[in-house]
Amino acid sequence: MIFPLMSDDKGQLKRLNDNKPLVFALKKLFLNCATKSKLPPDVNVMAAERIAIDIIQDAFHQLDVIQPDSREGSKETNLV
């Protein structure tokens, strides 16, 4: 993963997911952008659109199930 999600990021995404109308609007925006992008002439348009749609749908599924890291059960000790 190029940009790892920290627990704070996951918490913010979890709160975002509680706003279902906003999430639906974002999904429509991303899908519209993915299917309207200009592609080089040697790229199969239908294949590129299908891949983009799959990636966006997977991202929104991840948004649906994301949970912040739990700090329960962990304890900090002095290592010195």
Q: How far apart are CA 74 and CA 80, in angstroms?
A: 18
Q: How far apart are CA 33 and CA 49, in angstroms?
A: 10
- Locate 11 and state its tokens: 């918490």
Task: Convert the pLDDT of each residue in 35-69 to its tens digit.
Answer: 887 878 888 888 888 999 999 999 999 999 988 88
Residue type, 19: N
Instruction: Give the pLDDT score at 73.
Output: 55
Parse the chain into domains and list their residue ranges: 21-65
* Cα–Cα distance list, 34 to 16, 20, 53 (Å): 22, 21, 7
Q: How far apart are CA 15 and CA 72, in angstroms?
A: 20
- Global pTM reads 0.70
